[in-house]
Copies of this chain bind each other. A is one copy, B any other.
Amino acid sequence: METLFALSNGYLGIRGTFDESTPSSNRGTFINGFYETWPLTYVEEGFGYAKTGQTIVNVPDATIIDVSIDGEALDVTSANIRASSRTLDLRAGLLTRRLVWTTASGAQATLESERLVSLAHRHLAAINWTITVDRPARIEIASQLRDTEDAELTDATRHRDPRKARVLPGSALQSIHTETEDHRAVLSFRTKSSGLGLAAGMDHTVASETEFKGTTEVTPHGALVRFDYNAAPDVPFTISKFISYADGPAPDTALADHVLESLAEAKAYRFVSLKTAQEEILAEAWRACDVTVGSEPRIQQAVRWNLFHLIQATALTNGTGVAAKGVTSQAYGGHYFWDSEIYILPFLVFTNPARAARLLHFRHSLLDAARRRARAVDQEGALFPWRTINGEEASAYYPAGTAQYHINAAVMYGLRKYVEVTGDTDYLIEGGAEVLLETARLWADLGYYGARGFFHIDGVTGPDEYTALVDDNAYTNLMARQHLRYAVEVTEWLAAQHPEPFEELSQRIGLTPEEPQAWTRAADAMAVPNDPEAGILAQNDGFLDRELWDLAATPRDRFPLLLHYHPLVIYRHQVLKQPDVVLATMLLGDDFDLAQKRRNFDYYDPITTGDSSLSACVQSIMAAEVGHPELALGYFNKGLLTDLCDVYSNADDGVHLAAVGGVWMNLVYGFAGLRDYDGNITIDPKLPAEWTGLSFSMRVRGTFADVAIDHDGVTVTHHQGPELELTVAAQPVVIGEGSSQRVAIGS
């Protein structure tokens, strides 16, 4: 529940805890990119290993509002609860709660609360909390802002699950300053090792006809505001609690000032205005990205929950990426992976190009660190870290970390999709080309020409983490090939169209005219292992010769395999955590004909466990394309319900944001059958027979359009922007000036 009801704005995230401090599973408030560092230690050290761990900090919790009535503290595990409900309003961006409780003293108390994390103001959250009793009672309310001991992490490590965050013993924060006035408290901190600055504050307004006594206490790591009063029957007592956080690269009084300003502003606007602003922003967001699923209200609700988390997680990021769990937990350390480019960016490119651009700019900001990382592994160019917050590699297990060189290609892939779909070629001049060329250089340096003239890339790990340190991973080589070719294409375009910026860039990065030629040569000679008889790709050189894992004979309780078998056992078998070759046939679909895709899917899908939450949407999209509609729907449901039904038994670790992004991809690429090869939009629907329709909106090169699909045809409606040419069910369509076109689908 704490994960499902989590609220965030991409900068600030608050788990869906109760207002009262107990019970809770993992209380947590997070600021994107606000992290503590710690030394990565290895029993057996190796050259070039990542040196510094980074973990997103669980910042002081400002959500707590404890209440006692006639001396009985509210705790739903022991209280006599008469009615209880919580609602996440996806349209309003509001978590509401209503609780009716009969106290030991015989009073009936009604508690109503609303919580929001502002989508208008990244530094702000607020809670509106009201209690009413039906007879006279003594009420004591304790509203807190409290630094935690990261207890969640201590617990997490007991599971020995590598996906959990590393323990930071005790608090990561050192108190710098505290200040209080009336019912307000602001605490200032610095992180002990990374040296970042944080200010956290809360303020309160009370609306009540009752007299009350308010007191404020503060300690270096906490603040407590008490409201005590004698309640009269049926007279509500309402507290609006305003919460603000600000962080910076170093402690600075400006952070506390920022928090004070935010609190003052929020207090002036009042809670109701924050709600109104929230609704307006969300209305616009939903208009841009909603996907409707005809005749399937339960699926529709689940889809919207996923889209809501996509909206939240990408809303107000500020010089940061989008972490694997957004800002809903500490799992995976709050790190950014390739997920952002492959699973999140497509949604943004088609629904909110400005947010997509922010993600790309963030990647660009890590380029210098990526250059250093390439040197550390003895390569030229740039190598993005497999997992990071601050740009330095934070993966302590290199076979499934640094070895995933394919992250470089993911960056290229996202960049290319952005440029082609949005038409923002300026971005190439403003940094895109630099990222593209530096990352392309890595491939040219990493690979080599073998005896038969092929260009090989050895000793890498592809997307599938059940196979590691292999030669000529097909996915990696195919993506590297496209990377090299696109780098050449952009180089030529830049040289021809923008000679001055090109000259400047070439000078700065020391690009020689021979390099693009070498890239073309390497791309043309790229080794792509395959089995010509079976007509399929080999996941890597030798993969098809390996022993097949007997999935049918594997007990259900030994999944996910990574938690029940030594990596040595997993790695030596043909068994996949997630699609690898099949992902390549999806991302590079125009390099394969349908029969090839089907053969690869039919070989690899049965040996794919789907133990990764990045798996199901890819399996579904390709199942839909190659003609396995039932499989496609099954995988879609798995992805859709990843968190809602706790498919992986770790929904408590926060939202699986790649799976969430995968839901949008699954609907749009899978069932609507959209493709965007070279920026050309084609729609070839694969609507599930069980559904009556599917509609979505998209923004392509400045045009905003709706696409509505049913079993008889596709209607494309123009709303805004220039004319757009696209292909629908193999027919060319041009829309513009508010026009609508319907293409019938032959049956």
- Kindly report which residue of chain B lies nearest to residue A454, judged by CB atoms: B545
* Closest chain B CB from A718 CB (angstroms): 50
Q: A53 to B42, alpha carbons, bound, how many Å?
A: 12
Contact of A396 among B44, B400, B569 (CB under 8 A): B44
Instruction: Tell me if A652 counts as interface (CB < 8 A to partner B).
Output: no
Q: Is A469 an interface residue (CB 8 A)?
A: yes
State whether the Cβ of A48 lies closer than 8 Å to any Cβ in chain B.
Answer: yes
Q: Which of B43, B162, B460, B542 contacts A541 (CB 8 A)?
A: B542
Is A209 among interface residues, defined by CB-CB distance under 8 A?
no
Quick one: CB contact mask for A458-484 with B, threshold 8 Å, 1 for yes? 111000000011010000000000000
* Residue from B376, B564, B571 within 8 A of A47 (CB atoms): B564
Q: Which of B41, B46, B397, B542 contacts A46 (CB 8 A)?
A: B397
The CA of A541 and the CA of B538, in the complex, are separated in Å by 15
- Measured CA separation A468–B403 after assembly (Å): 14
A469 to chain B: which residues have CB within 8 Å?
399, 468-469, 568, 571
Besides A47-B563, A471-B572, 6 new A-B residue pairs in contact (Cβ under 8 A), listed by A number: A43-B396, A48-B567, A377-B568, A398-B567, A399-B399, A403-B568
Of B403, B460, B471, B547, the residue contacting A546 (CB under 8 A) is: B471
- Distance in angstroms between the alpha carbons of A376 and B448 in the assembled complex: 38
* Chain B CB within 8 A of A426 CB: no
**Contacting pair B545 A456 (CB below 8 A):** yes
Are B44 and A43 in touch, CB under 8 angstroms? no
Interface majority SS on A: helix, strand, loop or mixed? loop
Tell me the complex Cα distance, A161–B43, Å.
10
Residues of B within 8 A of A569 (CB): 48, 377-378
| Given A545-B471, A547-B456, A572-B459, A377:B44 Cβ within 8 A | no
List of B residues within 8 angstroms of A377 by Cβ? 566, 568-569
Q: A166-210 interface mask toward B, CB cutoff 8 Å, 1 = contact, 0 = none?
A: 100000000000000000000000000000000000000000000
Q: Is A504 an interface residue (CB 8 A)?
A: no
Contact B43 A397 (CB under 8 A): yes
A45 to B161, CA, bound (A): 6
How far in angstroms is the closest Cβ of chain B from A542? Answer: 6
Contact among B47, B397, B565, B571 with A44 in the assembled complex (CB-CB below 8 Å): B397
Whether A572 contacts B402 by the Cβ 8 Å rule is no
Q: Does A40 contact B (CB under 8 A)?
A: yes
Interface residue? A562 (CB, 8 A): yes
Determine the distance from Cα of A48 to Cα of B40 in the docked complex, in whole angstroms.
Answer: 21
Given contacts A459-B568, A471-B542, A471-B546, contact A43 B53 (CB under 8 A): yes
Is A160 close to B, CB under 8 A?
A: yes
Check if B45 sits within 8 Å of A459, measured CB to CB. Answer: no
Task: Say yes or no: is A450 at the interface (Cβ < 8 Å to chain B).
Answer: yes
Contact between B458 and A45 (Cβ–Cβ < 8 Å)? no
Closest chain B residue, CB of each to CB of A48: B566
Q: Kindly report which residue of chain B lies nearest to residue A396, judged by CB atoms.
A: B43
* Alpha-carbon gap, A166 to B42, bound state (A): 10
Question: Measured between C-beta atoms, what is the minimum distance from A465 to chain B in Å?
Answer: 11
Q: How far is the CB of A699 from chain B (nearest CB, A)?
A: 39
Show 29 A/B contacts (Cβ-Cβ < 8 Å), sorted by A: A40-B43, A42-B43, A42-B162, A42-B396, A44-B400, A45-B162, A46-B162, A46-B562, A47-B563, A48-B565, A48-B566, A48-B568, A377-B566, A378-B565, A398-B566, A398-B567, A402-B568, A403-B568, A448-B547, A450-B545, A456-B545, A456-B547, A459-B571, A459-B572, A460-B572, A468-B469, A469-B571, A471-B542, A542-B542
